[in-house]
Structure 1
């Protein structure tokens, strides 16, 4: 073999070995030893990863930190709600953490203390701030960011130029919607009505004190049962589990000038919870759902042990080159406790989004 060919072969071999080693460094022991719902991981400017989620403490939120996405340190409680003077009193859900202009902001959902009609679901969105990623966090305003006139959850933000966009889900509560599925459920004797949650987007003031303009409806469950999304987005109803269809847990990102919005459908506490996505040319849509939905769902029908995969967020590998999908699910071993998974994801050259999961390790 000529020397030039030999050294070329050696270089290629070393490159492949290096890639294999890097790939191995990014393998995860799923599920993580973290019992969270709605997990969100911030990769901060200090190089650390900070994870928040639903659960772990009563009336507030706790945090885990990591240098490598493998070993996680329990940072304890970072936010306390339901105090004598706080605007929020119960159901502390779906926190998301943002580093912005040298500070850290915790957006979250909770029940509003102001509830003159004693609604069972009185959810709104608030924001707390801290100078440190590990807190403690105190409310920026002792009130919800805004009140659209119906309960809302699952805040997600997108920063672009000098604008900030807020995405949220209108809760299913007292929101019955007529559709072919609703007609079918009545005819089958399953449910008299089907309540739905819908995802909205709106511009947010730069100080997070209020919204600008009217919220825009971005995503909702299909009206027609012939819609290609109808089967997977309606499984909680068609299985007789519950009379609700969810479109929630949105997460938006941009790649190649296309806006991708990932979202979850079906009952968050059931086996059918799954993730799809939609794309748009503008942060406020219109969004078109993808043909390859769902991109993340239970794997028990393929011999796996994972169900209820949903409410995802995205973080990046330590080298900043690979997208990673963070989500919660259940396994036959963890029972009814939601646990955190991290799996590889990618956007192909043709724009197709793929999540390589759910995975588990022995």
Structure 2
């Protein structure tokens, strides 16, 4: 009788475990977290996946950045207001497209602010620094790092690239122009190129904005967004070169709208799990039932290469990617 009573007393616990097992997510789902977020920068820090997106809202309300972390691509933790215009005296609105990189024991967060339309306005690309990937981030310079239009490029949509030789570059630009510039060791300015110039234009065919670069098999993959960010034709294309300076010849689009899934798929980043050699594309897209330009969600899907090293077209999904721990 005692054994029967003990078994009956354990039933609620068994049922709870079974319920938890049944509800344990095996895939990330898309979007990967709630809320309107865009322009996501995906990266790996300390055996966690991190995503740093734009808070997608009207420019006057777009005055802070949140971050999200996950040990397995499935369970995400929100880190609110890691950067706020209250800590960046020159930034008033339109904080967007964060790019982050770790150097030694510090985290440097690059961001665009104020959406300047000319050299006479205050704003551009700024840098903030923290000792933790979750912030809080403080202004690194007290002024923008790039506050002028060089080679016709609006100073927005920044990406920081570390080359094989340890050199760091800022790749950025809107208004259909893209520049690359070598950062100094303190990330407070730039070093001249071999020809004496500071900002070198590397704009490929059909480039609009949102640059991203990575190395695979000693080849430089340069990716960007095409089309209008509020329209259904927003998309991602890429090129391959032997140097971060190019020249970059456009290969073609690899991410674009799917009438069954979403519109406006673009402004992405790429994450590689080096242990498993799994590649992921993190991007934003607009639900089919939304027409508001700021109605954008952050999603993730697998990215594959063919035998010749070309990127296969991305298949957008609602289930996202499977659980993949870094630990």
Q: TM-score range by the shorter chain?
A: 0.7 to 0.9
Q: Distance in 2 between matches of 1:343 and 1:354?
A: 12
Displacement, 1:163?
1.1
Output aligned runs, 1:182-221, within 5 Å: 197-213=176-192, 214-221=198-205
Residue aligned with 1:347, SS: coil
Output aligned runs, 1:101-180, within 5 Å: 101-111=104-114, 117=120, 123-149=123-149, 151-160=154-163, 161-169=165-173, 171-172=174-175
Q: Which runs of 5 or more structure 2 residues have no equivalent in the other structure?
A: 1-24, 193-197, 321-327
8 Å CA contact 1:314–1:326 kept in 2: the answer is yes
Q: Structure 1 residues 130-139 or 335-344, which shifts more?
A: 335-344
TM-score (norm 2): 0.79
Displacement, 1:328?
0.2
8 Å CA contact 1:299–1:307 kept in 2: the answer is yes
Output aligned runs, 1:231-250, within 5 Å: 233=206, 247-250=208-211
Q: Which residue of 1 aligns with 2:231?
A: 270
Q: Which residue of 2 aligns with 1:19?
A: none
Count of residues in correspondence between the two structures: 280
Q: Which residue of 2 aligns with 1:343?
A: 301
Q: What per-residue deviation string (whole Å, max 9, x for no partner) do you get for residues 275-309 of structure 1? A: 0001111111111111xx21100011xxx131100
- Verify: 1:66 aligned to 2:70, yes or no: yes
Q: Distance in 2 between matches of 1:259 and 1:357?
A: 23
Displacement, 1:355?
4.2
- Verify: 1:311 aligned to 2:267, yes or no: yes
Q: What per-residue deviation string (whole Å, max 9, x for no partner) do you get for residues 85-130 of structure 1? A: 71222110100121221111111101289x884x5xx651111010
Q: 1:288 to 1:108 in 2, by over 3 A?
A: same
Higher relative contact order, structure no. (Cα contacts within 8 Å, ≥ 6 residues apart): 2
Q: Distance in 1 between matches of 2:248 and 2:26?
A: 32
Q: Distance in 1 between matches of 2:269 and 2:229?
A: 15
Q: Distance in 2 between matches of 1:289 and 1:126?
A: 29
Q: 1:69 to 1:334 in 2, by over 3 A?
A: farther
TM-score (norm 1): 0.71
What is the RMSD of the two structures over their aligned residues, measured on CA atoms? 2.5
8 Å CA contact 1:248–1:264 kept in 2: the answer is yes
8 Å CA contact 1:130–1:138 kept in 2: the answer is yes
Residue aligned with 2:92, SS: strand
Q: Which residue of 2 aligns with 1:322?
A: 278
8 Å CA contact 1:344–1:355 kept in 2: the answer is no
8 Å CA contact 1:263–1:276 kept in 2: the answer is yes
8 Å CA contact 2:256–2:265 kept in 1: the answer is yes
- Verify: 1:257 aligned to 2:202, yes or no: no
Q: Distance in 2 between matches of 1:355 and 1:126?
A: 33
